[in-house]
């Protein structure tokens, strides 16, 4: 995923999963709240509802997704931050509330790594670097060369300030040595419409939003931002393959709980989610959404969150990124 850590680190994961001797054998005793930091129908919401349906059967209790969008996902994250020890409260963690919002929003008081029990990565969405079919560059190398030559004369759109497309795009510019005019849009729909109309020649945005238009030939894909080629676009090179690997990054979705979760309950969540994620119906649905790279490992996820916060803090501050 986004510059994935190479070493597993037990530190906060082990501390967060520390448990009293009591085995919590009667858990869960009531319905479980699954907080989603974004509105209904988005990827995070679909993940919560899809996985919640299967895990609910195994646990014998309802799992109720609860959409708490706003403030870069921090409204949702604060529910868990303030819910220490609540064993019936979980969340879809994400690039926004647990990666960039602690830097973008000055009022955030939680530590994205230490103030949550991170249990694993549900999956991630790569960005795609794409262009209008008439754009002269036939491949990514030609686009980067044009970007270096044209400077601000080249216009590139992205899906909004502080989003994954924005920050990964900024990383791409630095890695490629280019300085295009970088234009924010209020979401993927407006951006895609302008690229297909030729108003903006080049874009970077979530692959899942663009894939239908790519397959229909309305825009052309030049590169993807994930660490490996996307199954959805197997012939499209990665950022690493085109020489800008330091810009590799994805919009990721994890699973976390408040701190103070007993270890037996943490282990049960990891086991049930691994089982659900392996179901053919679930893997097919995730594939259709473009979700890649599941890794239900608490130690990995704990280190990953810390790495993400540090990485995007540097990008945000270096580029004076603000929201609002």
Left if phi > 0, otherwise alpha if psi is -120 to 50, otherwise beta: which for 12? alpha
What's the confidence (pLDDT) of residue 23? 45
Residue 234, pLDDT > 90, answer yes
Report the C-alpha gap between 222 and 209 in whole angstroms. 15
Which sign does the torsion angle of CA 214, 219, 222, 224 carry?
negative
- Over residues 205-229, the pLDDT tens digits come to 999 999 999 999 999 999 999 999 9
Which CATH number is 126-247's, of 3.30.750.24, 3.20.20.140, 3.30.70.1290, 3.40.190.10?
3.40.190.10
Superfamily of domain 11-124+250-318: Bordetella uptake gene, domain 1 (3.40.190.150)
The model's confidence at residue 18, banded by pLDDT at 50, 70 and 90, is very low
19 is written with which tokens? 């448990």
Question: Buried b vs exposed e over 241-254: b needs ≥16 C-beta within 10 Å?
Answer: ebebeebbbbbbbb
- Over residues 120-141, the pLDDT tens digits come to 999 999 999 999 999 999 999 9
Residue 5, pLDDT > 70, answer no
Domains 11-124+250-318 and 126-247 share a fold: yes
- Over residues 167-189, the pLDDT tens digits come to 999 999 999 999 999 999 999 99
Q: How many Cβ atoms sit within 10 Å of the Cβ of residue 41?
A: 10
What's the confidence (pLDDT) of residue 16? 41
Cis? peptide before 28, omega within 30° of 0: yes
- Over residues 19-56, the pLDDT tens digits come to 343 445 799 999 999 999 999 999 999 999 999 999 99
Domain boundaries, the chain: 11-124+250-318, 126-247
- Over residues 142-167, the pLDDT tens digits come to 999 999 999 999 999 999 999 999 99
Average pLDDT of the residues in 245-269: 98
- Over residues 90-129, the pLDDT tens digits come to 999 999 999 999 999 999 999 999 999 999 999 999 999 9
What's the confidence (pLDDT) of residue 76? 98
The angle that helices 43-59 and 263-277 make with each other, rounded to 10 degrees, is 110
What's the confidence (pLDDT) of residue 311? 98
- pTM of the predicted structure, to 2 decimals: 0.91
DSSP state string for 35-103: EESS-TTSHHHHHHHHHHHHHHHHHTS-EEEEE---GGGHHHHHHHHTTTT-TTEEEEEEHIIIIIHHH
What's the confidence (pLDDT) of residue 61? 98
2 is written with which tokens? 């986004």
Reduced to 3 states (helix: H, G, I; strand: E, B; else coil), residue 253 is strand
Site of tokens 């973008």: 104
Residue 17, pLDDT > 90, answer no
What's the confidence (pLDDT) of residue 6? 42
**What are the Cα distances from residue 181, in Å, to 128, 176, 187?**
18, 14, 18
What's the confidence (pLDDT) of residue 24? 54
Which sign does the torsion angle of CA 218, 223, 227, 228 carry?
positive
């Amino acid at each position: 995923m986004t510059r994935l850590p190479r070493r597993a680190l037990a530190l906060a994961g082990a501390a967060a999963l520390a448990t009293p001797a009591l085995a919590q054998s009667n858990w869960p005793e009531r319905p479980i709240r699954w907080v989603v930091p974004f509105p209904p129908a988005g990827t995070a919401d679909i993940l919560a509802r899809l996985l919640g349906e299967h895990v609910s059967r195994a646990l014998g209790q309802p799992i109720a997704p609860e959409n708490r969008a706003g403030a870069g996902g921090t409204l949702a994250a604060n529910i868990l931050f303030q819910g220490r020890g609540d064993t019936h409260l979980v969340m879809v963690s994400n690039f926004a509330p647990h990666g960039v919002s602690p830097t973008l929003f000055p009022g955030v008081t939680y530590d994205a790594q230490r103030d949550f029990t991170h249990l694993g990565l549900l999956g991630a969405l790569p960005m795609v670097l794409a262009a209008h079919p008439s754009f002269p560059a036939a491949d990514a190398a030609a686009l980067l060369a044009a970007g270096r030559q044209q400077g601000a004369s080249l216009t590139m759109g992205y899906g909004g300030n502080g989003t994954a497309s924005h920050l990964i795009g900024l990383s791409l510019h630095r890695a490629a040595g280019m300085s295009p005019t970088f234009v924010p849009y209020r979401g993927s729909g407006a951006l895609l419409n302008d690229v297909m109309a030729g108003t903006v020649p080049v874009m970077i945005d979530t692959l899942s939003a663009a894939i239908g238009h790519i397959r229909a030939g309305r825009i052309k894909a030049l590169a993807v931002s994930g660490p490996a080629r996307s199954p959805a676009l197997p012939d499209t090179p990665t950022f690493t393959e085109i020489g800008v690997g330091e810009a590799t990054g994805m919009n990721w979705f994890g699973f976390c709980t408040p701190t103070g979760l007993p270890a037996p309950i943490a282990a049960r969540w990891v086991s049930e989610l691994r089982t659900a994620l392996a179901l053919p119906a679930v893997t097919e649905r995730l594939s259709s959404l473009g979700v890649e790279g599941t890794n239900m490992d608490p130690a990995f996820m704990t280190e990953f969150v810390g790495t993400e916060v540090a990485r995007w803090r540097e990008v945000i501050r270096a580029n004076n990124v603000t929201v609002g």
